Amino acid sequence: MTNPKRSNLETRRLAIARIGAAALAASNIARLADAAGVDDQYEGLESGKYLSDLKVLATVNDEKVFTEGPAADAHGNLYFTNVPANKILKWDGKSLTGFRENSNAANGLYFEPDGSLLACEGGAKRVTRTNMKTGEIKVLADSYNGFPLASPNDLCCDAAGRIYFTSRPGADDPAKGNVNAVYRIDSDGNLTQLLKSPEIHMPNGIVISPDNQTLYLIEAHPDADRNRNILAFDLGADGSLSNRRTLINFYPGRSGDGMCIDSQGNLYVAAGLHATRKTSETLDTRPGIHVVSPAGKLLAFMRTPEDTITNCTFGGADLKTLFVACGTTLVSIRTTIPGKATYRPIDE
C-alpha cells in the first residue's frame, strides 16, 4: 500500500529539484552573456603586433593522433603528448622522437622550476612528477574523498610551488565518484578541491598570471547552454580562489582548450574548429591562437592549419616561440612578447 505522506514528500522533492534545475539553466544562460564574445572581435585586429611566422615543425604519424600538452625544458627541447597512442614525444629542434611509451594517456604536461616534468595521466587518473635525471616517477594525486580522480587534464604551478590541475569528465552523482573539478596540490602533498560541478561545467586549460595574483580557467563544455569561456579568479597567498568573473566568452563556438600566458599577462588560447564535430559547437570561434588581454579583449589571432588545435606553451632561447599542438602537427609561432619567466625551468 502506498504511503501518502511519503508520496507527497517525494513529489515536493521532485518539484524542488526541477526548480533548482531551471534556476541553474537560467544562471548558465546569464553567464554566457556576461562577458565580451570572441566572434564579434576578429575584425580590425593588429595581429602582427603579437604573432608572426607560423611554421609546421613536425608531423606525428601514429595510427591514432590527438596531440596535446606541449612543455619546453631548459635545454630547448619540446615535449608533447599523443593521447590515444599513449605516448609522450620529444622535439629537439631537428627531429621528433619518443620520450615515453605507455604514458597512461598523458594529456597536459608542465615543467616545474627545478626541471621536473609534471603530467596529467588521464588513463590512470593521476598526476605524476618525473625526475628528468633519474627517470623516477612519483604519483602526486590519484584519489579524492575516497574515489579515484576523474581524468586529470591540464595543470600549472604558482610561485609557491603549489600545483593546480583540472579533472574531467567526472561522475554525474558525487555520491558515486568525483565530479568535474579543479584541485590544488600543496608542497606537503595535501590535495584540496577548489572548484567543482555544478559551479563549473567542464574545466580544461589553467594558468596563473606572472604576478601570481590571478588564476585563469577555461570552461569547454560541448553541450548547448553550458559554459565555453575563460574564468578569472583572484588567487590568494594561501592558494585560495575568490572573486569569480568571466573574462571572455567563446559561446556558441568551440571554447578554448589549453592556454599559456606571456610576461605581460596576456593569454594565448588554443580555440576553435575548422569543421563541426557532432556537438552543439558552431564555427563562430575561428580555429587558431587567440591572444586575450587581462581585461578580456581579443588582441590578436592566427589561424592554424588543421583540427584539432589543443594547447600551447612558450619556449625558445628568448621565450618568444609559441609551440602549438595542432591536429597531427607540432607548430611554432613567433611572438613579440616573451612568455612568463617560469616557463623556463632552471638548467642544473
Give DSSP secondary structure letters for 286-300: -SEEEEE-TTS-EEE
Identify the pLDDT of residue 117.
98
For residue 174, the domain's CATH number is 2.120.10.30
**289 within some domain:** yes
**1 within some domain:** no
Distance CA 25, CA 34 (A): 15
Spatial contact of 122 and 106, defined as CB atoms under 8 Å apart: yes
List of residues 6+ apart from 275 with CB closer than 8 A: 283, 307
Identify the pLDDT of residue 35.
81
Tens-digit pLDDT profile for the chain (348 aa)? Answer: 444 444 444 444 444 344 344 444 434 444 444 688 999 999 999 999 999 999 999 999 999 999 999 999 999 999 999 999 999 999 999 999 999 999 999 999 999 999 999 999 999 999 999 999 999 999 999 999 999 999 999 999 999 999 999 999 999 999 999 999 999 999 999 999 999 999 999 999 999 999 999 999 999 999 999 999 999 999 999 999 999 999 999 999 999 999 999 999 999 999 999 999 999 999 999 999 999 999 999 999 999 999 999 999 999 999 999 999 999 999 999 999 999 999 999 875
Domains held by the chain: number? 1
Spatial contact of 83 and 66, defined as CB atoms under 8 Å apart: yes
**14 within some domain:** no
**138 within some domain:** yes
Identify the pLDDT of residue 64.
97
Identify the pLDDT of residue 25.
41
**9 within some domain:** no
Range list of β-strands (E), 163-251: 163-167, 181-185, 191-196, 203-208, 214-220, 228-235, 241-249
What is the side-by-side order of every strand in the sheet holding 309-315?
Answer: 51-59, 329-335, 321-326, 309-315
**112 within some domain:** yes
Identify the pLDDT of residue 30.
40
**Percent of the chain at pLDDT exceeding 90:** 89
Distance CA 296, CA 249 (A): 9
Burial 200-233 (b: 16+ CB within 10 A, else e): bbbbbbbbbbbeeebbbbbbbbeeebbbbbbbbb
How far, CA to CA in Å, does 168 sit from each of 114, 125, 165, 338?
28, 10, 10, 31
Distance CA 300, CA 43 (A): 10
CA atoms within 13 A on the CB side of 272: 21
- Other Cβ atoms less than 10 A from the Cβ of 331: the count is 25
Identify the pLDDT of residue 24.
43
Identify the pLDDT of residue 348.
55
Identify the pLDDT of residue 34.
64
Quick one: DSSP state of residue 109?
E
**3 within some domain:** no
**222 within some domain:** yes
Distance CA 180, CA 149 (A): 9
Question: Which structural domain, as residue segments, surrounds residue 250?
Answer: 33-343
